[in-house]
Amino acid sequence: MKKLLIITTGGTIAGIDHGSGIVPALSGDKLIPDIGGVGISILDLYSIDSTDVTPMHWQKLYSAVTENVRDFDGIVILHGTDTMAYTGAVLAFTLDTDKPVILTGSMLPSDAEGSDAQTNIEFAMHTAASGNYKGVYLAFAGRVIGGADIVKVSSTDKDAFRSYAGFVPDKRYAFPEHGGRLPAVVRLTPFSDGPDISAPAENKAGIVIETYGAGGLPDNGITAVISGLARTMPVIVTSPCMGGTDLGKYEVGRRALAASAIDAGKRSTECAAVELWLQINSQPFENDNK
Ligand code: ASP
């Protein structure tokens, strides 16, 4: 008989609404069904709306997975959907395991009419027990998406996630012992000026700048600011659009490359920010794109 460990961390999937908005409150024993032929253990690790997630929560989750993974055939993690992409990327870049580690969540609390909570939990458990997956994935609304490639595309539709660009990490990072060196993440808009980009980077060890489409920088002071920042820290250019960036495609993208910015390629903003956080906490910065 296959043995699964279910780790709960909160989110809508554990949520109830007593009139002041949905809050995570249900423990795993109230949520996990018997799917037959699978032995279940439950670890209620913490109970937060995933908006409250911090690197400290990732540390706890990473430790819980690494300490238990040897004793089970797979792990299912119940997690809030809002920051699923960040947690998926953290685990995908740091866990080196042949076992399935399957994230899931839901858009509606388990007691809401038409809730997707039970379906998603069962889907995640079957995915983990199937023997077809190794490593970190999201199982949600019938889709199975790589852990570093998760993007939430709807705050209302039950089919809320997509694969961003098919990104699969080809290297692993040690989980940071301290993780205190943080990246800045900023969004480029037609209203942005140089200080909008440089101010958030102060006291940070790297910056992700989410631009547009295939990626690029405008013909104004921002590019000079980026060029200056790139001398002291990694500057990663990402896109809000699924499919990711290709900085060689347009002149505006080549402008970013000329400013020594790094092309995120198939990495979503969340994925690039997580990898940057892991990089800046594990090795000194060297920009080889100069
Ligand atoms: N705000 C919730 C969370 O991320 C949303 C959800 O779980 O669907 O925890």
Cα–Cα distances in Å, from 138 out to 79, 81, 93, 132, 248? Answer: 10, 10, 14, 14, 31
pLDDT tens digits for 93-129?
999 999 999 999 999 999 999 999 999 999 999 999 9
Alpha carbon distance, N-terminus to C-terminus of the chain = 55
- Choosing from 12, 94, 127, 245, the catalytic residue is 12
User: Could you please report the per-residue DSSP string of 83-137?
Assistant: THHHHHHHHHHH---SSEEEEE--SS-TTSTT-SHHHHHHHHHHHHHSS---EEE
50 Cβ closer than 6 Å to some ligand 1 atom: yes
Distance CA 263, CA 289 (A): 10
- Closest residue by Cα to atom 3, ligand 1, is 80
Distance CA 248, CA 176 (A): 33
Whether 245 sits among the annotated catalytic residues: the reply is: no
Q: Which atom of ligand 1 lies closest to the CA of 160?
A: 8
Whether 46 sits among the annotated catalytic residues: the reply is: no
Residue 24, beta-bridge partner list: 15
- Mutating to test ligand 1, I would choose from 17, 48, 82 the residue with most ligand atoms within 8 A of its C-beta, which is 82
pLDDT tens digits for 41-82?
999 999 999 999 999 999 999 999 999 999 999 999 999 999
82 Cβ closer than 6 Å to some ligand 1 atom: yes
Whether 158 sits among the annotated catalytic residues: the reply is: no
CA of 110 to the centre of ligand 1 (A): 13
Domains and CATH numbers, the chain: 2-163 (3.40.50.1170), 182-280 (3.40.50.40)
CA of 212 to the centre of ligand 1 (A): 26
- Residue bearing tokens 């990490």: 169
Whether 212 sits among the annotated catalytic residues: the reply is: no
Contact 47, 118 (CB under 8 A): no
What predicted TM-score, i.e. pTM, was given to this entire model? 0.96
Question: Residue range 183-192: average pLDDT?
Answer: 98
Whether 152 sits among the annotated catalytic residues: the reply is: yes
Contact 281, 100 (CB under 8 A): no
